[in-house]
Amino acid sequence: MNFVVGSTKNGLPFESEEFDCAYNRKGPTSAYQELKRVVKKGGTILGLHPGDDLGTELPKLFPNLFESINSENPILKTIKQRVELSKFESVEIQVINSFEFLHTPLDVLILRCFGQKQSLIKDIIENNFLEVKRIFEQNATNEGLPITFSRYILRAQV
């Protein structure tokens, strides 16, 4: 078994119907159409995406850093739009929510800065670390700060 990391932005460097299975673990991307091209008919595409309920507690604890969660599920809506364009034989999307722990105040800031430029991350950490540390210490258990972790698992049949 071999694994290849690639980008779908410029087209994957593979022949059509070359694979039995493909895995996508980025946010709801436009990769599904290209993955459908490289996976054999009858094959499977798996996707793991952040869920809309990720960290629902964080806006209450850190209102200056996190926005309230949008009840319209924008991530799920985007995933559904992208897979609809791909016209798979079947699609199943499962929501997995669990409680997990952020272990340090820096973990809170890293989660806040996911996908941001390094210069912005540095500014956010410098400007917010002491306040985040204070709130973290007030609310953390021995295991860390419990938050909801939410993910979408997508299974598509080509």
Are 100 and 149 contacting, i.e. CB atoms less than 8 angstroms apart? yes
List the structure tokens of 157: 């049949």
Q: CB-hemisphere CA count at 13 Å for 78?
A: 14
The CATH-assigned architecture of domain 19-157 is 3-Layer(aba) Sandwich (3.40)
Q: What is the pLDDT of residues 1-14, one digit of tens each?
A: 777 777 788 888 89
pLDDT of residue 7: 77
Burial of 36 (0-12, 13-18, 19+ CB in 10 A): buried
In this predicted model, what pLDDT tens digit does every residue of 144-154 receive, in sequence order?
999 999 999 99
Look at strands 145-157 and 39-50 and give their pairing.
Answer: antiparallel
- Residue whose pair of structure tokens reads 């996707």 in the numeric block: 47
Q: Does residue 67 surpass a pLDDT of 80?
A: yes
In the structure encoding, which two tokens stand for residue 123, read together?
A: 């500014």
